[in-house]
């Protein structure tokens, strides 16, 4: 069993020769509703890859958009036979839902998925922001500029590997891979402190298995 099978049992989907883990938007929205007493209306995926999470957020009646610095639509990942036109499976609790290649391409055509860096974006306006692995690709000096982009949102949910993850995986005889060079791999507590130093009240949500940060206002 892979370490991610244990840490993220709620969702796995293959889109290359490996497994990418994510948090279902429905679960993210549930935590948002617990905090604010209402469902989020707008959703922004920072590190959206091919747009699967954006599509699922739209299916959950959120106005969803996303960005990614890498053009997955032109990469080998999107030309993989897995995307030959048939839907592929994404697990959400006890249900399975197919997302077809044509639907993901439509997101790109509509401008809902853009290829750009978060640093090149204007401050994000959304109820809920999701960062899947993104924050570790910025160095410590740049992170404040990244987090400043989210000061106008209501909640940020960030999933990424920490020191604890690498230690736990190593005990299982596994090395955690990544598609880019990591610049900031720190303990959980360091991330909580970094969010706090940049204007967020944050905690690690053990149900989502990710950081949940709310701007201090």
One-letter-per-residue 3-state SS of 151-172: CCCCEEEEECCCHHHHHHHHHC
User: Each residue of 107-140: pLDDT tens digit?
Assistant: 989 999 999 999 999 999 999 999 999 999 999 9
pLDDT of residue 8: 82
Percent of the chain with pLDDT over 70: 82
pLDDT, the chain, mean: 84
Q: Cα–Cα distance between 55 and 51 in angstroms, integer?
A: 6
Q: How confident is the model at residue 99 (pLDDT cuts 50, 70, 90)?
A: low
Q: How confident is the model at residue 64 (pLDDT cuts 50, 70, 90)?
A: very high
Enclosing H/E stretch for 147 = helix 143-148
Contacts of 1 (CB under 8 A, 6+ apart): none
Percent of the chain with pLDDT over 90: 63
pLDDT of residue 6: 84
Q: Which domains are assigned to the chain? A: 23-71+113-215 (3.40.50.150)
Beta bridge mates, 210: 205
């Amino acid at each position: 069993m892979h370490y991610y099978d244990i840490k993220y049992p709620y969702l796995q989907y293959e889109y290359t020769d490996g497994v990418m883990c994510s948090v279902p938007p429905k679960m993210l929205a549930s935590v948002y509703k617990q905090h604010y007493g209402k469902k989020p209306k707008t959703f922004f995926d920072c590190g959206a890859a091919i747009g699967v999470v954006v599509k699922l957020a739209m299916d959950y009646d959120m106005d969803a958009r996303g960005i990614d610095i890498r053009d997955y639509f032109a990469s080998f990942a999107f030309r993989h036979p897995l995307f030959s036109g048939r839907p592929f499976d994404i697990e959400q609790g006890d249900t399975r839902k197919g997302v077809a290649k044509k639907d993901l391409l439509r997101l790109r055509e509509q401008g809902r998925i853009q290829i750009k860096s978060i640093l090149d974006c204007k401050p994000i306006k959304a109820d809920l922001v999701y960062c899947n692995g993104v924050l570790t690709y910025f160095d410590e000096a740049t992170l404040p500029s990244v987090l400043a982009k989210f000061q106008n949102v209501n909640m940020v949910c960030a999933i990424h590997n920490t020191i604890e993850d690498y230690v736990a995986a190593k005990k299982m005889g596994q090395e955690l891979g990544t598609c880019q060079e990591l610049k900031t791999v720190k303990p959980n507590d360091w991330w909580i402190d970094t969010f706090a130093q940049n204007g967020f009240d944050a905690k690690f949500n053990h149900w989502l298995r990710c950081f949940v940060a709310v701007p201090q206002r």
